[in-house]
Structure 1
Amino acid sequence: MRELLDLSRSGRQAAATLLYLVPSAGLVFGLVHLIGLAPELALLTGLIAAMLGAEAHAAVNRSIERKAVRKELQELTSLAAGLSRDLDDAADKIVELEERIERETEERMERIFSEIRVVEGLVKRLAEARGFAAAAPAPAPAPIEASAPMAQDQATPPTVADSTVPPPKPEKRLEDLNDEELLETIRHSLETNRVDLYLQPVVNLPQRKIMYYEGLSRLRTESGEIILPRDYMRVAEPAGMMPTVDNILLFRCIQVVRKLAQRKSKAGVFCNISAFSLLDEDFFPQFVEYMQHNTDLAQHLIFEFSQATVNGAGPVEQASLDALASLGFRFSMDQVTDLRLNPAALHDRNFRFIKVSADTMLEGTHSAGDIHAADLKELLKRNGIQLIVDKIEQEREVVDVLEFNVGLGQGFLFGEPRPVRDSVLKETPAKAPEMPLAAD
């Protein structure tokens, strides 16, 4: 390359010399004929003038080349500086990525260890509950090592193995069981992990697009018969077993919430918590501690309590609610039968949803301030609370409810509670199917 440049430069210099020979020849002619200078001396003078002109031309070209080279060097220097900055930025991003991966790994391991501790706690709780009588109230449940299960990478809650307690034999139909037999059946269902999460959609009206899900727990007997909450809560609550049921339900709800987050879905999940869990001095503090490390769930997870639980909340229950509210979690009140509400006070306690049945809404005017059902939606809206009309089962009820300008509905008409498919909880985000989450 350098030889080519030298040849190019030499060629330009020779061309410049030839260019200046023409005026030099004129100079020689003038010196000979006008001044009478000897031809040899005039020729020498012309040659010298041609060479001086060529050299001057070459000097000018070299100056131009030096400026061009200097400009290229400046551009290369700027480019090198830019590359250096890019390399520094890349190094910073690599360090940041390593720190984030390390942090996420630690959080993930902490969730896994929390799940392991919870399984141990469930075993201990069920072992303690074994000696309880079905008809008599139970003493305080046995301590749980960590009550917040919810390791997001575990597909299903682990089965609690306990070979010392066989199931009731022969297994009877649920309606034929007495309370003691029903309690033993419930306990065995918990020990053998026959607890399923059912989801029922909450839709917007009138479009009927799924906006939320309500998580409902169902127990299964060994023969596959479903034990509904109205059947198991009657004997499970006095036996101190509801925190265990809530614990498993919460685990499953969080699994669904994480799947929704992976799909970039904005749908939330209502998760019911019983009054017994709010009062459980072992379950609830450790549950709150777990939630402190998982506040990202607050966008999608809404804790739901019955109106009886909310109205009957004492200092302990209220402190439990306050602890969750301080972490940013929202609440919903369901099973509302009395519309004499204080929306402002409920909003201050972080209640953002209230569920009223279609029958209650359509009964008409209610006492205490002459609040009409038609005004309830706007009253709640002014206080930052959304009204959900549930238990909608017929199209004519939808028409009547829409006259109240209700925006959210729930009921068998829009979808029955259906069990969550195991594949939804086990699949990777890349293979996650679209809605619905529940089995057809």
Structure 2
Amino acid sequence: MRALISFFILVACLSVGITAYFGLGVNLMDAILVTGLFALTCFVIIEAMFRRRTEKYLAQRVSEIAQQLGVVARTNEIMSDQVNYLSNINVNNRLEDVEADISVLGTVIRELAEAVAEVEEAQATQAMAPPPPPAPAPQSAPNVSSINTQKRHAENVDEEEVDVPISILQDALAEGRVRQYLQPIVTLPHRRTLGYDLVPKVSQPGSKLLSAHEFLPNSDRTGTISELEQMLVRQAANIIHRSNIAGEPTSLFVPISYSLLNDVDACERLVDLVRSNRAVTASLFLTMEEEKYSRLSDNQRAALSMFVKIGVGICLDKVRSLRLNFQDLYARGIKYVKADTQRFIEDPQSYSDLHNADVADFVKRYDVGLIMDNVVQEEQILMLLDDKIPFAQGEHIAPPSPVRPDLLGEQQKVQSTAY
């Protein structure tokens, strides 16, 4: 295109020169000069036009490249977000959940097949069996009901627990004879310490120690049990604080009851005490029997929720069944549940409809720890390992032992309000 334009410019310049030489009568040198000036002027004008066109084209290309770079930048940002999202996904947890669901589903299908087979076998046996003989007419037995009633009454009298007088605990608190013992809770299979149960005992003359069921009454209207539990929580916070300073952090499980939760002022004081040291809240757990926890009143639940709000965990002891709503329990601050080892091994159906090997995975899905209590022999530990139970506790693993004096600090005497 540019060559064609240059050709026409040359033709036009020659035409101008010939016209000036022959038509205007100028001499040859002037005609050549006019031709050169005209050609130069035309070339300058054409070059300016081409330069302007080239600059406009380059500006458009630069604008398009800038737009493309913006699109590439947005694409890179989207890809970066996708990569970050994928990197934050914990595939192992999802795989564990899927494996647990598949295992539970397989167990349910297997149990259903076994139940159907048993029903079919029973129906076949009944179909092949001869008809039963007619039952004899019932005979009157006027004294059987009264005899059974008397037997049941006698059994209830024998099994009735004798209540412990509250004065034993009051004297022990006033004289400073309450001793603190620790019983470890270990992980399986490595048997590393998860934490300790804080076990109160009362020392008697002659180096005799009374366990909790020997000095704690079934009911208390004097507030003595509340004073004991307040002392236990304070000493637990002290032990956790001292162990953290010594470089040996540990967790403590402190038993509580209705008596402490009924005393709202005492709960508020304990919450303020524990809140003052954040390192204590994560290592402190309040233990309560599952049956008592299920019967808490609204006021008692509100008192317990004060501890949960500051980070204190709850442990349910002596659970009657593992058919619990663990998602709801975790939302209420339940971190651990304790079940009886012997009953779990010998009568698993009383705890759960799942197979024993699937129970721990089912509970773990809701971030709740399952602790098997009252382990008394090594064979039970082997069975718990086969069932993938994560935590265990019992006399066979380690009996309660006294708290080290450097962790406990100075013993304090408590004057009961009943005096």
TM-score band by shorter chain is 0.5 to 0.7
Q: How does 1:132-147 map to 2 (within 5 A)?
A: none
Residues 1:299 and 2:282 are matched in the alignment: yes
Contact 2:253 2:284 in 1 (8 A): yes
| Residue type of the alignment partner of 2:183 | Q
Larger RCO (CA within 8 A; separation ≥ 6): 2
**Match in the other structure for 1:234:** 217
Contact 1:205 1:409 in 2 (8 A): yes
Residues 1:378 and 2:378 are matched in the alignment: no
CA distance in 2, matches of 1:368, 1:400: 16
Residues 1:253 and 2:262 are matched in the alignment: no
Q: How does 1:50-89 map to 2 (within 5 A)?
A: none
| RMSD between aligned residues | 2.4
Contact 2:344 2:351 in 1 (8 A): no
Secondary structure of the corresponding residue to residue 216 of structure 2: helix
User: Residue 194 of structure 1: which of 177, 192, 202 is its match?
Assistant: 177
Task: Go from structure 1 to structure 2 and tell me whether the alpha carbon gap of 1:191 and 1:342 turns closer, same or farther (over 3 Å shift).
Answer: same
User: Residue 415 of structure 1: which of 389, 394, 398 is its match?
Assistant: 398
**Match in the other structure for 1:397:** 380
CA distance in 2, matches of 1:326, 1:426: 28
| Residue type of the alignment partner of 1:397 | Q
User: Residue 204 of structure 2: which of 184, 202, 221 is its match?
Assistant: 221
Q: How does 1:20-419 map to 2 (within 5 A)?
A: 182-234=165-217, 237-366=220-349, 370-419=353-402
1:157-201 Cα distance to aligned partner (Å, 9 max, x none): xxxxxxxxxxxxxxxxxxxxx989943232111101111110001
| Residue type of the alignment partner of 1:410 | Q
Is the radius of gyration larger for structure 1 or structure 2?
2
1:229-283 Cα distance to aligned partner (Å, 9 max, x none): 1122225634431111111212222222112211333421111111221122332
* Number of equivalenced pairs: 250
CA distance in 2, matches of 1:305, 1:232: 18
Question: TM (normalized to structure 2)?
Answer: 0.55
Task: Go from structure 1 to structure 2 and tell me whether the alpha carbon gap of 1:368 and 1:335 turns closer, same or farther (over 3 Å shift).
Answer: closer
Task: Go from structure 1 to structure 2 and tell me whether the alpha carbon gap of 1:367 and 1:203 turns closer, same or farther (over 3 Å shift).
Answer: closer
> Unmatched 5+ residue regions in structure 2?
1-160, 411-419
Secondary structure of the corresponding residue to residue 318 of structure 2: strand
CA distance in 2, matches of 1:369, 1:409: 18
> Unmatched 5+ residue regions in structure 1?
1-177, 428-440
Deviation at 1:225, TM superposition (A): 2.7
CA distance in 2, matches of 1:221, 1:403: 42
Contact 2:287 2:314 in 1 (8 A): yes
Contact 2:169 2:224 in 1 (8 A): no
Identity %: 23
Secondary structure of the corresponding residue to residue 282 of structure 1: helix
Deviation at 1:387, TM superposition (A): 0.8
Secondary structure of the corresponding residue to residue 166 of structure 2: helix
Task: Go from structure 1 to structure 2 and tell me whether the alpha carbon gap of 1:394 and 1:179 turns closer, same or farther (over 3 Å shift).
Answer: closer
Task: Go from structure 1 to structure 2 and tell me whether the alpha carbon gap of 1:182 and 1:208 turns closer, same or farther (over 3 Å shift).
Answer: same
Secondary structure of the corresponding residue to residue 396 of structure 2: coil
Deviation at 1:298, TM superposition (A): 1.3
Task: Go from structure 1 to structure 2 and tell me whether the alpha carbon gap of 1:263 and 1:201 turns closer, same or farther (over 3 Å shift).
Answer: same
Question: TM (normalized to structure 1)?
Answer: 0.53
Deviation at 1:222, TM superposition (A): 4.5
**Match in the other structure for 2:48:** none
Deviation at 1:216, TM superposition (A): 0.9
Deviation at 1:355, TM superposition (A): 1.1
CA distance in 1, matches of 2:404, 2:350: 45
| Residue type of the alignment partner of 2:233 | L
Task: Go from structure 1 to structure 2 and tell me whether the alpha carbon gap of 1:229 and 1:425 turns closer, same or farther (over 3 Å shift).
Answer: closer
